[in-house]
Chains A and B, each alone.
Chain A
């Protein structure tokens, strides 16, 4: 069964993408560490964590694409899952500091000593062990997604309402993590990391290794997502995206399918966050801010949702643009980003991938991510309103 899943996952596009990612995971560290400085092929050390950061964001965008592009759930809170994974990894890295902190307390992280805490809170237990932290990286966002999704999908909260409550979720977490009493470092978050698995996080070799691991995890995420969307379940997801009520009437358990996609997506986002933290060296509550989560949406939209490669491309391109703009023309970055939001949604609903693939995709009407086979005037307050009419109308046959 697993073999069949893998075989389905490996359609030609996914194979190329995975091969490219594996190649990158080898080439970048080699260009950085093996190729001597001065050689035109040498990659400076500053680029490695930067590229690694882009790849974790690409992974986050891919996670969002799984629920938005394939299942029609626009989550404006995916940054929260990313940040939770990041915090789990950050807690492990904090415990690894041990007595090397400013206050040299072997158990308590610096900020707890500073806040005059006497003992480690119970939820910090176990984070000195990597396997436990790694488990929590997946469990924390996964459980939150399970709980949230179970409530939301079961009571059929859809469309913009769902988007808004996911935004409320990440906003509530933002406020919560800003509090010092939460025991997650408050405003400053977790930083000053020293070691990961015994290796210095600042060392160039560790960073190169982290980059390679990130690229491989992204390849794995591509494999998983590609496998899911190419399976029968993936077809049901796409059906839900295009006509949720119809899928339900046909007897599919819409809630469970959505919940599955949401949880898998949250776990991928959490892993991305965990890979992000050691490369950036800090995790703080700002990662929860609603604006961050919305930015992820635009990466996905720019690249092209409803495709596997689109969000990866979008995340890397938009962030490369951001790095360039914020350095060269800091005042114009927000104009550029805002224009990107507006122009993409109006002129490029399929993103760059849709633009490149052009007409080829247009014939496949059911895959049209806007959920409509042809532009219709708005019919009611809700996007899906009037679906029953569609069943009876001749257009349903299309």
Chain B
């Protein structure tokens, strides 16, 4: 019955993850497209306006070499053209790379070395060294006033740049280094801006400038609203800086905003811990769920379960090597091939283990534990002999790498995939257990082996299939773990104790127990980590489980009924 009560939770979880994934997919192209458009749009006017631009550039070197005011005027005119070449030219001017023939003429960009300079057209970049007498060339002179004009113009150019990403970056730069003298510039930029994200960044920068300037209180109040709406650590530092020299009537309001943002950030950090916990919990669940099946149905403690995970990871590695070698066009999707391969391979190994080893030890769970431990040693050494003792590299496919922001949380894509993958595996497994004849037989054997046998269920067959299924799931877990952990012969050892803890905590014979156990332990671990440190947190979890077992010796979701009560 608990199946139905917990169903809504699962649906919710699924929708969050699937929704999140879809959102992530939407986000990436959305970010790319405007930049691409802006780039192509930028090149169009440049091509038509080159002739006029060259006049503006040549004006830089015109007139008396020490006529700095004229040069500043020329810089402003150049900046006002809004051409994308301008920042580079101004940059060259600031670095003393612009030269003009003594006595007037076109401006050239000097390159090469001092002994053998080259001269090229500053706009097109065309080399014109052979047309120029190097001895006649003089530098276009600048002084501090000109430099200041260049900086302003560069800022203005980038803030007004047709390239969206350049504007965004300029606005963000301004946010970290707000200077009241740029107020006019940013006002102009905000007025022109159409892209909402860039506009928001510009408005934030403008608000910060206003807070630093001697603007009237009402204007500052509006600025505070804008900054506080950002809701991040930067906003706190801006507001804290503003608190000192703000008008007295605004101070309580600023303080209130700071507190509000702090509270909000704490909420996000809780959310982040929950996410990390879910991520860890889903890894635990993947590793433990196969163990839960074999333990639940057969009462067998499979100490070699971790090695099944390890074999799954090595199957992934092998599949990846083979696709790289024979079918490199699909190598980005080798993980998708690895899932069924790992399942079938480790499942087959599991059936062999059951038929060859475990069936001789039924009714002696402690001996099974020892025999499978011995098997795990052999499997580890076997893999060590075949693949070497060091880690092998399983590459992350492009569609699984990267990260994105969800509110205040940074989510890495491979973790998200693993959470989603775990949910899929869990659902499929539930369906297998509850909707297939094999699942029915497995549940019957779990609840009462002798009665099931009396009803004509071939319990040895069910045992072999169960063990194969549990091992196959472990292999699938290995595929997922190969993406976040080192693939080495010791991979399984790192998970076996944690998996036991999950199964023992959650209780056997019910996958929901495993789910709740894994997620609880994962989240609890992540919440303890900031306070107790990673190692102490883990120790506390272990102690907690040891104490918990005293209260409920059969775990959270123990099977009820005559058959299982000793």
Q: Do these two chains interact?
A: yes
- Quick check: is B314 within 8 A (CB to CB) of the other chain? no
Indicate if the CB atoms of B539 and A176 lie closer than 8 Å: yes
List which A338-392 residues lie within 8 A (CB) of chain B. 338-342, 344-346, 349, 370-372, 375-387
- Quick check: is A171 within 8 A (CB to CB) of the other chain? yes
CA distance A114 to B191 in the complex (A): 63
- Quick check: is B222 within 8 A (CB to CB) of the other chain? no
User: Can you name the residue of chain A whose Cβ is closest to the Cβ of B359?
Assistant: A378
Q: How far is the CB of A149 from chain B (nearest CB, A)?
A: 11
Q: What chain B residues lie within 8 Å of A154 (beta carbons)?
A: 550
Q: Which of A340, A349, A375, A384 contacts B374 (CB 8 A)?
A: A340
Q: Mark B528-566, 1 if CB is under 8 A from A, else 0.
A: 000000011011001101110111011000010001101
Q: How far is the CB of A16 from chain B (nearest CB, A)?
A: 29
Indicate if the CB atoms of B363 and A168 lie closer than 8 Å: no
CA distance A175 to B525 in the complex (A): 15
User: Can you name the residue of chain A whose Cβ is closest to the Cβ of B368?
Assistant: A345
A-B contact pairs, 14 of them (CB 8 A): A156-B553, A158-B566, A159-B365, A165-B545, A334-B381, A335-B377, A342-B375, A345-B370, A377-B449, A377-B459, A381-B299, A382-B299, A384-B566, A386-B450
Per DSSP, chain A at the interface is helix
CA distance A131 to B500 in the complex (A): 40
- Quick check: is A19 within 8 A (CB to CB) of the other chain? no
Q: How far is the CB of B456 from chain A (nearest CB, A)?
A: 15
- Quick check: is A337 within 8 A (CB to CB) of the other chain? yes
Q: What chain B residues lie within 8 Å of A148 (beta carbons)?
A: 546
- Quick check: is B376 within 8 A (CB to CB) of the other chain? yes
CA distance A167 to B493 in the complex (A): 13
- Quick check: is A155 within 8 A (CB to CB) of the other chain? yes
List which B438-459 residues lie within 8 A (CB) of chain A. 446, 448-450, 453, 459
Indicate if the CB atoms of A377 and B362 lie closer than 8 Å: yes
Q: Which of A165, A349, A387 contacts B549 (CB 8 A)?
A: A165
Q: What chain B residues lie within 8 Å of A301 (beta carbons)?
A: 370
Indicate if the CB atoms of B449 and A294 lie closer than 8 Å: no
Indicate if the CB atoms of B500 and A349 lie closer than 8 Å: no
Indicate if the CB atoms of A338 and B362 lie closer than 8 Å: no
Q: What chain A residues lie within 8 Å of B93 (beta carbons)?
A: none
Q: A163-B369, A175-B539 are in contact. Are A381 and B564 (CB under 8 A)?
A: yes
Q: A338-B377, A379-B450 are in contact. Are A157 and B550 (CB under 8 A)?
A: yes
Q: Which of B367, B380, B449 contacts A334 (CB 8 A)?
A: B380
Q: What chain A residues lie within 8 Å of B381 (beta carbons)?
A: 331, 334-335, 338
CA distance A179 to B538 in the complex (A): 12
Across chains A and B, which 4 residue pairs bring their CB atoms closest together, nearest first? A341-B374, A338-B378, A338-B377, A378-B362
A to B contact number (C-beta, < 8 Å): 170
Q: A175-B538, A380-B449 are in contact. Are A168 and B553 (CB under 8 A)?
A: no
List which B420-450 residues lie within 8 A (CB) of chain A. 446, 448-450
CA distance A264 to B363 in the complex (A): 29
CA distance A98 to B554 in the complex (A): 51
- Quick check: is A245 within 8 A (CB to CB) of the other chain? yes
- Quick check: is A132 within 8 A (CB to CB) of the other chain? no
Indicate if the CB atoms of A168 and B564 lie closer than 8 Å: no
Q: Which of A157, A158, A160, A290 contacts B301 (CB 8 A)?
A: A160
Q: Which residues of B contact A (CB under 8 A)?
A: 295-296, 298-299, 301, 357, 360-371, 373-378, 380-381, 385, 446, 448-450, 453, 459, 497, 500-501, 504, 508-509, 535-536, 538-539, 542-543, 545-547, 549-551, 553-554, 559, 563-564, 566
Q: What chain B residues lie within 8 Å of A229 (beta carbons)?
A: none
Kindly state the interface size class of chain A when it binds its partner. Answer: 35 or more
Indicate if the CB atoms of A337 and B374 lie closer than 8 Å: yes
CA distance A164 to B377 in the complex (A): 18
Most buried by A among B296, B357, B538, B546: B546
- Quick check: is A297 within 8 A (CB to CB) of the other chain? yes
Indicate if the CB atoms of A157 and B549 lie closer than 8 Å: yes
Indicate if the CB atoms of B566 and A387 lie closer than 8 Å: yes
CA distance A370 to B360 in the complex (A): 13
Indicate if the CB atoms of A151 and B550 lie closer than 8 Å: yes
Indicate if the CB atoms of A171 and B299 lie closer than 8 Å: no
- Quick check: is A113 within 8 A (CB to CB) of the other chain? no
CA distance A152 to B504 in the complex (A): 14
Q: How far is the CB of B374 from chain A (nearest CB, A)?
A: 2
Q: What chain A residues lie within 8 Å of B371 (beta carbons)?
A: 341-342, 345-346
- Quick check: is A125 within 8 A (CB to CB) of the other chain? no
- Quick check: is A103 within 8 A (CB to CB) of the other chain? no
Q: A338-B375, A380-B563 are in contact. Are A165 and B504 (CB under 8 A)?
A: yes
CA distance A301 to B449 in the complex (A): 29
Indicate if the CB atoms of B448 and A380 lie closer than 8 Å: yes
- Quick check: is A74 within 8 A (CB to CB) of the other chain? yes
CA distance A160 to B361 in the complex (A): 14
Q: A151-B550, A381-B508 are in contact. Are A345 and B500 (CB under 8 A)?
A: no
Q: How far is the CB of A258 from chain B (nearest CB, A)?
A: 14
